[in-house]
A and B are shown apart, each in its own frame.
Chain A
Amino acid sequence: MSKIKPRGKVPKKAAIDEIIEIKTLIRHPMHSGRMKDKDGKNIPKRIINKFLVKFNGKQVFGMDLEPSISTNPYIAFPFKAKVSGTFDFEWTDDNGEKYTMSRKMDVS
């Protein structure tokens, strides 16, 4: 299995009151618990079940994911730029692991 790796695209600069789009993708198999491997054995369920975004420490967006979300979950959402700051992204795996990523944005 390839390594689980989060990726994100946040504009480095934004104008005040501009609505920007943030795009994220995490490489993850999202085993729904219904797929079978080469030997016909069931692959146990293992998905990203939660995605959280904080801006300067305050939660701005959240998403609960179910097995119906595709492999390598892609999530895009808007954000209204007001002040400069840092985005903290956090994905939670079924096995309890958390994958994080940070991105800075300058607003002027």
Chain B
Amino acid sequence: MKQQKMKIISRRSILYLMGGIASSALFTQFAMAKPNLALQRIKEISKSKVEEVDLFLDVPEIAENGNQVKVSFDIDSPMTKDDFVRTVYLLADGNPAPNVAKFSFTTDMGACSATTRMRLSKTQNVYLLAEYNNGKFAMTKSKVKVTIGGCGG
């Protein structure tokens, strides 16, 4: 069996093979590098002081159209001067850029929630990172399956 295989390998097929290895290596690198971008940003913003908790992040489980994916979140907070959410970051690990939006909250709002629509280029995780006024960070993530990607191109 082995000998038979050896015989068929010509110079051309070796070239093909090498090309295949190179491109698959590139692909895996691509796939490996992407999820880290969002997490990297989270680490940068929170200086690694982040707790994974169950914040309310509402995204569809399956998005048919990646161009308009409704995202909303609601973080339980009294929103008083002593205890409020200062900033909320929305990130995605499969888009060309990890940052999606940054929300600045004030105590005048009475609640910490917002709704917007975002683009998702493919199936990926959406992250929500909240910064409290006492310097603490909390995050949560949710996976969205995308049928048709929505980043153009």
Contacts and interface: CB of A to CB of B under 8 A. Distances in A.
Pairing of A with B: yes
A70 B67 contact: yes
B119 A60 contact: no
Contacts, number: 103
B106 A78 contact: no
Interface in B75-126: 79, 92, 95-97, 99-106, 108-120
Nearest to B70: A74
Contacts of A69: 100-101, 116-119
B153 interface: yes
Interface of B: 67-69, 72, 79, 92, 95-97, 99-106, 108-120, 150-153
Contacts of A78: 109-114
A68 B95 CA distance: 8
B152 A32 contact: yes
Contact of B152 (A36, A73, A74, A77): A36
A14 to B, nearest CB: 11
Nearest to B108: A60
A35 interface: yes
Interface residues of A, number: 30
7 contacts: A61-B104, A63-B101, A67-B96, A70-B118, A76-B114, A77-B109, A80-B108
Contact of B92 (A35, A61, A68, A77): A68
Contacts of B117: 69-70, 73-74
Contacts of B96: 32, 34, 67
Nearest to B104: A62
B102 A70 contact: no
Contact of B103 (A59, A63, A67): A63
